[in-house]
Amino acid sequence: MENIANLSEKQIEIERQLGFCERVREIVMNKYGYKPLAFVHTYGCQQNVSDSEHLKGYLELMGYGFTDDLNEADLVLYNTCAVREHAETRVFGNVGILKANKRQRPNMLICMCGCMAQQTKVSDRIRKSYPYVDILFGTQVRHKFPEFVYRKLTQGKRVFENPKDDSGIFEGIPVHRDGTFKKWLPIMQGCNNFCTYCIVPYVRGREFSREPEDVLAEAKELINSGAKEIMLLGQNVNSYGKNCQHKMTFAGLLREINALEGDFRIRFMTSHPKDCSDELLVAMSECEKVERHLHLPVQCGSDRVLKAMNRHYDSASYLKLIDRARELMPNIQFTSDIIVGFPGETEEDFIKTVELIKRVEYYSLFTFIFSPRPGTPAAEMPDTESKEDKSRRFSEMLKVQEEISLRLNKALIGKKVRLLIEEVDGDMLIGRSSENLVVRIAGKPEDLGTFKNALIVDFDGVLHGKEI
Ligand code: SAH
Ligand code: SF4
Ligand code: F3S
């Protein structure tokens, strides 16, 4: 019920922001005398990519065009990621480089947003040591971007805004979509899980799902405008719908999108094993448009470490999900995220991870060495293991995975797949199958964005297919 009262307030807020877009448009036309250009760079996950599409939607309404060339940009926007230290170091480096650009183009507006910007320690450092950054705003107030630009342009003072704001989803923000036939569709925001190593719940705030009718309306719009693949986005899509007025589970949502007319494919990420229900696996298996691929991050194979990570499942229940999914969808492929070197993770724990990797036989893995994130519980946990041991284990794991991937790829020879042609590479095409396999195939550039049936004929580091 609370949502109803909120709804109109939120609509009014977005109307206000659209008003700022109009005003900024006039100001920048007068200021520059030409259509100014924005350079938007996105770090981090798909959620951030999708946010950038919305920020670009605002920029378009503010009168900006887009450029990939920093040297001709009138506005620079870095949408940042805080998930690992390395990600942050890179951003600080790249923001440092902007000093020279600003000297050459003093009228350039430099803006920084996203998960790093949401953190006070980052905004303090930027305020002090990077005086040429004009606007900094956190993820939780990103819907106010036009207002921040307006304030900077009219008052001249630097704008720093990263308060906590858990008011939920703002519908109606304009979108500038980059992809032509592959589209991102955010279905929720935030995260409530507080895995002990992870900064995301702190920077993204609480979990909120979009109402099913808003998601479905946008899905329809995307399909009507030529989408061949829709990627549903959320930090934990399996818990979709908890706050919605119209109760719906993620399985239900998949079924509804699957029922929409058109030839398109549905992908989703990310799934959390603790919320991966049998209802969802059954829905996947019964929905022909849903990919036969499940990215199900396990993080590690030791129950002791899983507990310390606050993941709320153990290796046995995880393997049950894998077996059930395989039973329902024999051709399914799995991928996962693994963290090596969580505080106190011993050789014995690591061996359990390797055993689990071998047991599941993932098609591929996203592998990370634990990076302590200040403010998270794991950053305070005592560690007994050396850096050398962690790197050795990391390499060992990669080797194990390489062997599995090679074996799985060879076993794919002779299999039939349906490819969405995603890229043209010289006189060849590159397509992706429902199982998330990337396959090279002969064809014409006009085939881009179409589906093709293919037989996998070879693997020599890449899969090769023949149209059938
Ligand atoms: N919400 C998603 C992914 C979030 S971040 C999920 O729960 O699966 C993507 C991946 O980054 C995580 O799955 C994890 O493997 C990794 N990661 C997150 N925090 C990390 C840290 N502090 N150090 C190393 N890897 C981390
Ligand atoms: Fe981070 Fe865990 Fe949330 Fe994923 S589910 S974003 S790993 S806290
Ligand atoms: Fe990074 Fe934020 Fe995504 S921390 S991984 S951009 S949610």
- Kindly state the average pLDDT of the residues 412-440: 96
Contacts 24+ apart (CB under 8 A), 320-328: 321/273, 321/276, 321/281, 321/296, 322/296, 322/360, 324/278, 324/281, 325/281, 325/284, 325/294, 328/281, 328/282, 328/284, 328/285
The atom of ligand 3 lying closest to the CA of 83 is 4
Given a cut of 70, is residue 267 above it in pLDDT?
yes
Cα 79 to ligand 3 centre (Å): 10
The pTM (predicted TM-score) of the whole model is 0.95
Given a cut of 90, is residue 23 above it in pLDDT?
yes
pLDDT of 4: 54
Q: Is the CB of 272 under 6 A from ligand 1?
A: yes
pLDDT 10s digits, 29-38: 999 999 999 9
The atom of ligand 2 lying closest to the CA of 299 is 7
Dihedral of alpha carbons 185, 189, 192, 197, sign: positive
pLDDT of 2: 47
The atom of ligand 2 lying closest to the CA of 191 is 3
pLDDT 10s digits, 367-409: 999 999 999 999 999 998 999 999 999 999 999 999 999 999 9
Nearest CA, atom 2, ligand 2: 195
Given a cut of 60, is residue 1 above it in pLDDT?
no
Given a cut of 90, is residue 28 above it in pLDDT?
yes
Instruction: Find tokens 């109009």 and name the residue.
Output: 22
pLDDT 10s digits, 198-235: 999 999 999 999 999 999 999 999 999 999 999 999 99
Share of the chain above pLDDT 70, in %: 99
Q: Ligand 1: which of 339, 340, 362, 381 to mutate, judged by most atoms within 8 Å of the beta carbon?
A: 339
Q: Ligand 2: which of 47, 115, 195 to mutate, judged by most atoms within 8 Å of the beta carbon?
A: 195
- Say how far apart CA 422 and CA 363 lie, in whole Å: 20
- Kindly state the average pLDDT of the residues 168-172: 93
- Kindly state the average pLDDT of the residues 157-182: 93
Instruction: Please answer whether residues 70 and 108 qualify as being in contact, where contact means their C-beta atoms are separated by less than 8 angstroms.
Output: no
CA 443 to chain centroid: 31
Q: Is the CB of 311 under 6 A from ligand 1?
A: no
pLDDT class for 3, splitting at 50, 70, 90?
A: low
Nearest CA, atom 14, ligand 1: 337
* Cα angle for residues 329, 330, 334 (degrees, 5° grid): 80
- Kindly state the average pLDDT of the residues 70-98: 95
Question: Phi/psi at 225 (nearest 5 deg)?
Answer: -95, 20
Q: How many residues can be counted in the chain? A: 468
